[in-house]
Amino acid sequence: IEECNVHDEL
Amino acid sequence: MNIFRLAGDMTHLISVLVLLLKIYATKSCSGISLKTQELYAIVFVTRYLDLFTDFISLYNTVMKLVFIGSSLAIVWCMRYHRVVRRSYDRELDTFRYWILLGVSFILALVLHEKFTLQEVFWAFSIYLEAVAILPQLVLLQRSGNVDNLAGQYVFFLGAYRAFYILNWIYRYLTEQRFTRWISCVSGLVQTALYADFFYYYFISWKNNAKLQLPA
Please report the ipTM that was assigned to this predicted complex: 0.87
Distance between B188 CA and the closest CA of chain A, angstroms? 16
8 Å CB contact of B183 and A6 = no
Quick one: how far is CA B41 from the chain centroid?
Answer: 9
Q: State the average pLDDT over residues B96-124.
A: 97
Q: Specify if B210 maps to a domain.
A: no
Q: Specify if B214 maps to a domain.
A: no
Q: Find, among B29, B50, B196, B58, the residue nearest to B125 by Cα.
A: B50
8 Å CB contact of A10 and B122 = no
**Residue B56 forms contact with A (CB below 8 Å):** yes
Closest A-chain CA to B5: A9
Tell me the average pLDDT of chain B. 95
Number of domains in chain B: 1
Which residues 1-10 of A are in CB contact (within 8 Å) with B? 4-10
pLDDT-derived band at B179 (thresholds 50, 70, 90) equals confident
Q: Specify if B213 maps to a domain.
A: no
Least confident interval from B3-7, B95-99, B139-143, B175-179: B175-179
Tell me which chain B residues have a C-beta less than 8 angstroms from the C-beta of A8. 56, 60
8 Å CB contact of A7 and B67 = no
The residue that leads in pLDDT, B214 or B60, is: B60
Q: Specify if B118 maps to a domain.
A: yes
- Which residue range forms the structural domain that includes residue B185? 3-205
pLDDT of residue B145: 75
Residue A3, SS3 per DSSP: coil
8 Å CB contact of B5 and A7 = no
Q: Specify if B22 maps to a domain.
A: yes
pLDDT-derived band at B114 (thresholds 50, 70, 90) equals very high
Among candidates A4, A8, A10 on the partner chain, residue whose Cβ is nearest the Cβ of B177: A4
State how far the Cα of A4 lies from the Cα of B54, in Å rounded to an integer: 12
pLDDT, tens digit (0-9, with 9 covering 90-100), for B69-82: 999 999 999 999 99
pLDDT, tens digit (0-9, with 9 covering 90-100), for B42-55: 999 999 999 999 99
The residue that leads in pLDDT, B18 or A1, is: B18
pLDDT of residue A4: 55
**Residue B171 forms contact with A (CB below 8 Å):** no
b/e code B60-88 from CB counts within 10 Å (16+ = b): beebbebbbebbbbbbebbeebeebeebb
pLDDT, tens digit (0-9, with 9 covering 90-100), for B4-18: 999 999 999 999 999
pLDDT, tens digit (0-9, with 9 covering 90-100), for B15-36: 999 999 999 999 999 999 999 9
Q: State the average pLDDT over residues B163-174.
A: 96
